Amino acid sequence: MEDDTIVCRCEEVTVEEIRKAIREGAVDVTGVKRRTRAGMGLCQGRTCEKIVTQILVQELQQPLSAFKQATVQTPVQPITFNLLANASHD
C-alpha cells in the first residue's frame, strides 16, 4: 500500500498516518483509532477496520488472529436524536 492511500474515508486517514501511530505505540485497532481518528467517522470503522488490522499485521508481524475487534459502542447504526429521545422502549 502507498503511504498516501486513504484507509479511513470518513476521517481521511492515510496509510502513513496509521503506520506512524503504530510506531508511537498503537498495538490494536482501538489504539490506532485514538491516535488517528481512523474509524471515528460516520461508518464507525465498518469500511476501514479490516484494512487497519492488515496494516497492524504487517507492521507488528503478528498473525491476524492476535488482533481483537475494536470495542463496539452503541448505537450499532446512526440514530437521530429524536428517535433516541422518544423511543417508547429501551
Partner 1 sequence: MTDRADVIVIGGGVIGSAIAYYLTKERVKVSLVERGDIASGTSGACDGNILAIDKMPGYDSQLTLKSQKLLDELVESVDYDLEYAQRGSVLVVEDEKQEPVARDWFTRQKEAGLPMRYLAGREVFEDEPLLARDVIGLVECASDASLNPMALVYGLVEASRSTGALIRPFTEVTQILQDSTGAVCGVKTTRGMMSANQVVLAAGVWTPALASTVGVAVPIKPRKGHILVAERSPRPARRKVQEFGYLLTKFGGTEGRRVEAEMDQYGIAMVFEPTEHGNFLIGSSREFVGFDRRCNHHVLQLMARRALRFFPTIRDLHIIRSYAGLRPHTPDHLPIVSPVPAVPGLYIAAGHEGDGVGLAPITGKLMSEMIAGEPTSIATEPLKLDRFDK
Options 1-9, 37-45, 48-56, 57-65: segment touching partner 1 (CB under 8 A): 37-45
31: enclosing H helix or E strand: helix 29-36
CB of 25 to partner 1, least distance (A): 6
Q: Is 49 in the site for partner 1 (CB under 8 A)?
A: no
**Minimum CB distance to partner 1 smaller for 61 or for 77:** 77
Gap between the Cα atoms of 47 and 39, Å rounded: 8
Provide φ and ψ at 6, rounded to 5°: -85, 125
Q: Is 13 helix (H, G, I), strand (E, B) or coil?
A: strand
> Do 29 and 21 touch, CB atoms closer than 8 A?
no
DSSP β-ladder status, 6-8 and 13-14: antiparallel
Q: Is 34 in the site for partner 1 (CB under 8 A)?
A: yes
Options 1-9, 50-58, 59-67, 69-77: segment touching partner 1 (CB under 8 A): 69-77
Q: Is 59 in the site for partner 1 (CB under 8 A)?
A: no
7, 8, 11, 56: which one contacts partner 1 (CB under 8 A)? 11
